[in-house]
Amino acid sequence: MNVESQSSNGMPSGPKKLLTAREICSLFGLSKSFVYQHTMEGAKHPLPVVRLGERAIRFDPDKISIYNP
């Protein structure tokens, strides 16, 4: 899934790619269980997640890059 991103002048620059849980694991060296546990409701330090229906999740690369538990 893609979401619209904005350029530095505030104008839409086209869709950006949302990351999968697998990509998050690979990029940050995290286990899948860590990623999924931190996307659940009530998680102590939840990861910023985009929910696509009941089961599918994706991650906005901009929000993940500034995540600080």
Instruction: Give the pLDDT confidence score for residue 29 in this predicted structure.
Output: 93
Instruction: Give the pLDDT confidence score for residue 10 in this predicted structure.
Output: 65
Decide the pairing of beta strands 2-6 and 12-17: antiparallel
Instruction: Give the pLDDT confidence score for residue 4 in this predicted structure.
Output: 53
Q: Walk along the chain (69 residues) and give the pLDDT tens digit of each residue.
A: 555 555 556 666 667 899 999 999 999 999 999 999 999 989 999 999 999 988 899 999 999 888 876
Provide the whole-model pTM: 0.71
CA separation for the pair 15, 1 (Å, rounded): 9
